[in-house]
Every structure is written in structure tokens, then in C-alpha cells.
Amino acid sequence: MKKEEKIKIGISVGDLNGIGTEVILKTFKDPRMLELCTPIIFGSTKILSFQKKHFNIQTNFHGIPSADKAQHGKINVVNIWRESINIEYGKSSPEAGKFAVESFVQATNALKEGMIDILVTAPINKHNVQSEDFKFPGHTDYLGQTLEGDSLMLMVNDSLRVGLLTDHVAVKDVSAAITPELIKKKVAVIYHTLQQDFGISKPKIAVLGINPHVGDNGVIGVEDDEVLKPTLEKIKNSGKLVFGPYAADSFFASSNYKNFDAILAAYHDQGLIPFKTLSFGQGVNFTAGLNKIRTSPDHGTAYEIAGKNEADPNSFKEAVFTGIQIFKNRNMYNEIAKNPLKKQPGKI
Ligand SMILES: NC(=O)c1ccc[n+]([C@@H]2O[C@H](COP(=O)([O-])OP(=O)(O)OC[C@H]3O[C@@H](n4cnc5c(N)ncnc54)[C@H](O)[C@@H]3O)[C@@H](O)[C@H]2O)c1
Ligand SMILES: N[C@H](C(=O)O)[C@H](O)COP(=O)(O)O
């Protein structure tokens, strides 16, 4: 690949008191990463130099005023702050929240404007990012409002993909949030992303039940019988290979999950507990369904190990690799869709 064709990866630094910058630096200290992509970090060279010294990581940064000035073969840092920032590893602070949001918002703007190809986000703390200007429980929610399309939280690794019907929704609100419209929308998004972003032409999707034992015919809740099953019946009749609802408790234990290209769970912990248990450190959080690509590692700020040089960068690295793969798959899919093979006259 020629230098100028390299994929531009925008990176938001997340909570500076967490493990975000550590996993970013550990990922890009490997010079081979620069052969694969051009990183553009939204933060400041001052902060990154402090972190680099702290973790004794040998890398050089290229400070730039905006993402369009990025150079290939370098770790580019868009200097969005000039002021000194106090790093207090392991501590949640309003300042850390404010800087995390600034980095994320500026990186998202660059994504929207096409200055970067993919956004990879380092973890934020959902509590300290809240403000008058930012009232979102996570990256997915902000991107869903800011970019085009219907967002779907999809956790992926090499052999498992778990999407969510409801994501950052309190348990008490889950049942009311699961409507026929939501189910149809999320199934449509997961189906399309499997085709467009993962190259699976006829995806097989399993859907998990909402209540224990899929409600046991109404003994333990009516939502499966009244909402989920009839909606899935309609979707199945439209020709999509959608199966279920399956009882969630034994679904992963029985290895049934290996028979599907993706699994749609009803709510956050129903899907993320098995996913993280099976693949923590290898998994990637992909925001599917939008016109732009965003990935992130499968972990949070991990305050208890922040600053101790103990953070494993593997999931962040996977987030970069997965983003690149999706970018390439999507481009190829769109290219093929633009120029479909013409039907030959006289041929079936
Ligand atoms: N993408 C994101 O922004 C994101 C994702 C998940 C959680 N969070 C936020 O992070 C904060 C902490 O969440 P949590 O404690 O539930 O999850 P966490 O992922 O931060 O930590 C869970 C456990 O895994 C360990 N761990 C996490 N990442 C690790 C790594 N790279 N290497 C080694 N060990 C690692 C931690 O030390 C901890 O024991 C919360 O505010 C949460 O909302 C953010
Ligand atoms: N559900 C994510 C996880 O547990 O990994 C986490 O909350 C991050 O969500 P956002 O990507 O929306 O910030």
C-alpha cells in the first residue's frame, strides 16, 4: 500500500486518569502499526509526553494543529489543549471528564468531515463526562445522535458477535423499550452490518428471550409472547434467517451460539456478560448501523490499575484492526453494490 493510501485512524484519549493513554501508547510503540495505518490522536503532545515518560515508552509524536495536517509514518497528535493538565491516575474528576468529552467531540467532528476514516475511542467514565452540554451515557448514544443511521452496539471478536436490542438502558426500563419497531430496526441493522461490514451474504441471527426461560408461556412475564415472538415471526416470514427467541441462560453454555453469525441480546448485561467472559481482552465494541465507523476496546477506565503499567493493550489493538477490516469490507461492499453484475440476456 502506498503511504498516501493509508487508512487514517482518529483516536480519542478517553479519561486521562484511566488506562486509555497507556493502551494507546503501548499499541503504537510497535512500528509495524504505522505501516498499517496513520494514527491521529486528539489530545496534546504535552500530555502524551508526560505519559510516555511515566510508562517509559519510546515513541515520538508529531504535533499538528488539525487532522488534515497529519503525516503518514508518524504518530500524529492534534493539539486540542495547550494548558497543563494534572494527571491523577485512578481518580475520577470533573476535569478528566471534560477533557475526555473534548477529545471525543473533536475526533467525531473530524470523522464527520472525512478528515479521518475511522474513530477508535479510549474509555471514558460515564459519570464524570456528564455536563450541561453532554448528557449521554456513552459514546454509542452520542454517535447515534450525531452521525447518520440507527446505531447498534455490537461486540465482536474473531468468532462471536453479540448485538443489543437495548444498550445503556436501566433494567427497570428495558421491558417498555422493547417494542416491535425497535426489534425490527435492530434486526435490520444487525442483518445489514453482517452483510456490509463482515461480508456474510446470508447471515444467520439468533435472538435471545427477554424473560427467564422466554417467559415459560406467560408464567414469568408476557413480553416474549406478546411482543418478541410475533415480531420475530413477521421478520422470519420476510425471508431473513432469524431464529429464536432462545432461553438466554443456557444459550452460551450449550455452545449453540457457534451456529450463528450474530446474536441479538435483549439488554446490556444479558449480552455483555457472556461476551466479556468468553473474550475479555480480545473483544471490540463496534458501533454498527451508522454512516461512519467507530470501534473501541471491550474494557473501561480500569482506575484500579491506572498508572501502574499493568494495562493490557490487546483489546485496543484489536479495535484498530477491526476498524480497518470493517472499513475495507464496507468499501468493497459499496463498490460492488454500485456496479452490480448485469443480468445476461437469455440467462437465468
Ligand atoms: N468504551 C468505554 O468508554 C467504556 C467501556 C466499558 C466501561 N466503561 C466505563 O469504565 C468505568 C469502569 O468500568 P468497569 O470497572 O465496569 O470496567 P473496566 O473494564 O474498567 O474494569 C473491569 C476489570 O477489568 C480490568 N481491566 C480492564 N481493562 C483492562 C486492561 N486493558 N488490562 C488489564 N486489566 C483490565 C480492571 O482492572 C477491572 O478489574 C465505568 O465508568 C464504565 O462506565 C467505559
Ligand atoms: N457497553 C460498553 C461496554 O461495556 O463495553 C460500554 O458501556 C461502552 O459504551 P460506549 O461505547 O457507548 O461508550
pLDDT of residue 346: 65
> What are the tens digits of pLDDT across the range 120-150?
999 999 999 999 999 999 999 999 999 999 9
Q: What is the mean pLDDT of residues 233-256?
A: 94
Confidence label for 341 from pLDDT (cuts 50, 70 and 90):
low
Side-chain half-sphere CA neighbours of 114 within 13 A? 0
Pick from 336, 288, 329: nearest CA to 149: 288
**Among the three residues 287, 303, 325, which one is the final residue of a domain in this structure?**
287
- Cα of 94 to ligand 1 centre, how many Å? 18
> Where residue 225 sits, what CATH number does that domain have?
3.40.718.10
What does the mean pLDDT of the chain come to? Answer: 95
| pLDDT > 60? residue 237 | yes
Closest ligand 2 atom to the C-alpha of 268?
1
Ligand closest to the CA atom of residue 128: 1
Do the interacting molecules here have an ipTM over 0.95? yes
Q: What is the pLDDT of residues 25-44, one digit of tens each?
A: 999 999 999 999 999 999 99
Residue 281 has what pLDDT?
A: 87
Map grid coordinates 411482543 to a residue: 227
pLDDT of residue 13: 98
List, chain by chain if needed, residues with CB within 6 Å of any ligand 1 atom: 19, 23, 123-126, 139, 285, 296, 299-302, 304-305, 311-312
Question: What's the rounded Cα separation, in Å, for the pair 304 and 41?
Answer: 24
Verify that 160 and 142 share a domain, yes or no.
Answer: no
* DSSP string for 50-117: HHHHHHT----EEEESSGGG--TTSEEEEE---S-----TT---HHHHHHHHHHHHHHHHHHHTTSSS
CA 214–ligand 2 middle distance (angstroms): 26
Within a 13 Å sphere around the CA of 324, how many CA atoms are in the beta-carbon half?
Answer: 17
> Is any atom of ligand 2 closer than 6 Å to the C-beta of 140?
yes
Radius of gyration of the chain (CA): 21
Position 73 scores a pLDDT of 95
| More reliable by pLDDT, 210 or 344 | 210
Nearest-CA residue for ligand 1 atom 14 is 300
Residue 82 and residue 207 in one domain: no
List the residue whose alpha carbon is closest to atom 24 of ligand 1. 302
Structural domain span for residue 221 = 149-287
Measured in Å, residue 302 CA sits from the centre of ligand 1 at: 4
Which ligand 1 atom is the nearest neighbour of the CA of 127? 41
| 175/159 same-domain check | yes
Do 263 and 330 sit in the same domain of this protein?
no
pLDDT of residue 107: 98
Q: Which residue, of 287, 311, 328, is where some domain finishes?
A: 287
Determine what percent of the chain is predicted with pLDDT higher than 70.
96
- Among protein residues, the one with the nearest Cα to ligand 2's atom 3 is 298
Query: Is it the case that residue 17 has pLDDT exceeding 70?
Result: yes
Query: Quick one: 68 and 202 in the same domain?
Result: no
Residues 29 and 17 in one domain: yes
133 and 171 fall within a common domain: no
| Count: domains in the chain | 2
Has residue 343 got a pLDDT over 70? no
Domain end call among 269, 287, 305 = 287
Residue owning the nearest CA to atom 34 of ligand 1: 311
* CA separation, residue 39 to residues 104, 245, 316 (Å): 15, 42, 13
Q: In this structure, are 51 and 178 located in the same domain?
A: no
Q: For residue 339, what pLDDT is reported? A: 74
**220 closest CA partner among 242, 244, 248:** 248
Average pLDDT over residues 299-319: 97
Q: Are residues 29 and 117 in the same domain?
A: yes
C-alpha 227 – ligand 2 centre gap (Å): 26
Residue 342 has pLDDT above 90, yes or no: no
Query: Which pLDDT tens digit goes with each residue over 142-196?
Result: 999 999 999 999 999 999 999 999 999 999 999 999 999 999 999 999 999 999 9
Convert the pLDDT of each residue in 276-287 to its tens digit.
999 988 999 999
> Is residue 138 in contact with ligand 2, taking CB distance under 6 Å?
yes
Ligand 2 lined by 139 (C-beta under 6 Å): yes
Predicted confidence band of residue 83 (pLDDT cuts 50, 70, 90): confident
Cα of 304 vs centre of ligand 1, distance in Å, is 9
Query: pLDDT (tens digit, 9 = 90+) per residue, 85-104?
Result: 899 999 999 999 999 999 99
Q: Are residues 144 and 195 in the same domain?
A: no
Q: What are 51-60's pLDDT values in tens digits?
A: 999 999 999 9
DSSP strand pairing (262-265 vs 204-208)? parallel
| Beta carbons of 252 and 278 less than 8 angstroms apart | yes
Same domain? For 208 and 275 the reply is: yes
Spacing of C-alpha 135 from chain mean position: 19
Based on the fold, state whether residues 304 and 348 are members of the same structural domain.
yes
Q: What pLDDT is stored for residue 131 in this prediction?
A: 96
